Structure 1
Amino acid sequence: MSESKPNGKPQPRTGKSLKAQQRRQEILGIAMDAFAAHGYNNASLAEIADRAGVTQAGVLHYFRSKAQLLTSVLALRDETDIEQLGTDRPRGLAFLRHLVDTVRHNTEREGIVRLYAVLSAESVTDGHPAQEYFRDRYAGLRALVAEALAEACELGETRPDLDVEEAASALIAVMDGLQIQWLLAPDSVDMTAATNRVITALLADLTGKPT
């Protein structure tokens, strides 16, 4: 029987033994690689099961469906991001500078970056199981950056006429675009340096003075 959250949605079976938990994490790692390489629609449970050394029924013992396996992979990705950010994020314009460190860290985890790029693009198609996830994620990212920019306004770090929502959307668009360029040509695109240049230029615009 699957576990359920208060909202009634079935959750993945976690298993009680250490061996079961280790097998579940192994399946998640393999599924993450498969979704990143082939996308959700083209990745097959048969391939994931074969690489994990179990049957498809074995995969479905831990995850009730392919869609639930996908949402579990995305949840694992979010846990990694939360651990990286820590309990307290930098405030005001310091948060924008912190984003450069985030990009630098992303260059060391190509698989997760590819997973995000592939699935976020795929999610715009009708009926994609990750569409709601990415819609909420982008809304959350815009709100997070906009909040930091609003803090900067209150601290007197930026111009008082700043449109924080517009600036947040532009910054996220640049960072996502750089990820795709980097994935296609990692030896030609320095994602960290390019992000730093964009944020430096943005800071100069926000503050009205060279940074």
Structure 2
Amino acid sequence: MAEGYLKGRIRREDIITTAVGVYAEAGYRASSLREIARRVGITHAGLLYYFPTKEALLAAVLERRDAEDTERERLSVPPGLDALRRLIALAGYNVRHPGIVDVYSRLAAEAVAAEHPAHDYFERHYATARRYVVDSFRVLAARGELREGVDPEFAGLNLVALMDGLQVQWLSNGSAVDLVGALRFYLQDLLTVPFDQGP
């Protein structure tokens, strides 16, 4: 039984690894579960045994991508101004990769329902993001780098929401929204120090 469980875990990891590559090749604009299954060397029905829906597989792909990006880009810098600069750098990356923004925005909207396969992923994703950004604003406040009267928690939660909202608007009309500029402006307005090391 333990051997079967291990084989199942290995196969599941193979599917996720392959799916990450297939989605990336397509710029996250399109994907085919049959193509992913073919590359793994299993049937379409076999893939559905591990991931019953495309959304369930996509949530696993996004989670894997998050973990790999954290390691590769060193996104786990300590909370503070450098962490917020990293967030703006991420927004700049997103502008260059609209497919991934589209996937995140669309799937996040669908995953509001608790029964959605990606609901738990987004619940964890946003909880982590909010905690990290709020902690960064608290560090700024402790260092005197946040304007007097600015509430760190409100500022942090608002930044996460602002980034999401701006990305959706940017997807609708990229030329009408300066995603990176708007986020920089929001941050600089709250700071007592220059925000001058962005992308």
**Same fold by TM-score greater than 0.5:** yes
Where do residues 69-88 of structure 1 align in structure 2 (5 Å cutoff)? Answer: 69-86=57-74, 88=76
1:96-154 Cα shifts (integer Å, max 9, x gaps): 23322111111122221111101111111241111122122111111101111111122
Name the structure 2 match of 1:128: 116
* Cα pair distance change 1:12/1:24, threshold 3 Å: same
| Residue pair 1:12, 1:68 contacting (<8 A) in 2 also | no
2:11 to 13, 20, 39: 13
Q: CA deviation at 1:170?
A: 0.5
| Residue pair 2:107, 2:118 contacting (<8 A) in 1 also | yes
Name the structure 1 match of 2:34: 49
1:27 aligns with 2:19: yes
Q: CA deviation at 1:58?
A: 4.5
- What letter matches 2:123 in structure 1? R
2:173 to 163, 182, 185: 185
Aligned residue pair count: 187
TM-score (ref. length: structure 1): 0.71
Q: Which moved more, 1:118-127 or 1:77-86?
A: 77-86
Q: CA deviation at 1:178?
A: 1.0
Q: CA deviation at 1:69?
A: 1.8
1:65 to 52, 63, 69: 52
* Cα pair distance change 1:11/1:181, threshold 3 Å: farther
Looking at structure 2, the residues matched to 144 and 123 of structure 1 have their Cα atoms a distance apart, in angstroms, of: 22
| Residue pair 2:170, 2:176 contacting (<8 A) in 1 also | yes
* Cα pair distance change 1:52/1:129, threshold 3 Å: closer
1:105 to 93, 97, 117: 93
TM-score (ref. length: structure 2): 0.74
SS at match of 1:117: helix
| Residue pair 1:113, 1:179 contacting (<8 A) in 2 also | yes
* Cα pair distance change 1:210/1:13, threshold 3 Å: closer
- What letter matches 2:117 in structure 1? P
- In the alignment, structure 2 segments of 5+ residues that lack a partner are none
- In the alignment, structure 1 segments of 5+ residues that lack a partner are 5-9, 16-20
- What letter matches 2:112 in structure 1? V
SS at match of 2:11: coil
Please report the RMSD computed on the Cα atoms of aligned residues, expressed in angstroms: 3.4
| Residue pair 1:30, 1:52 contacting (<8 A) in 2 also | no
| Residue pair 2:70, 2:76 contacting (<8 A) in 1 also | no
| Residue pair 2:69, 2:75 contacting (<8 A) in 1 also | no
Looking at structure 2, the residues matched to 197 and 151 of structure 1 have their Cα atoms a distance apart, in angstroms, of: 20
Name the structure 2 match of 1:156: 144
SS at match of 2:103: helix
SS at match of 1:187: helix
Looking at structure 1, the residues matched to 75 and 113 of structure 2 have their Cα atoms a distance apart, in angstroms, of: 34
Looking at structure 2, the residues matched to 32 and 119 of structure 1 have their Cα atoms a distance apart, in angstroms, of: 16
Looking at structure 2, the residues matched to 108 and 78 of structure 1 have their Cα atoms a distance apart, in angstroms, of: 17
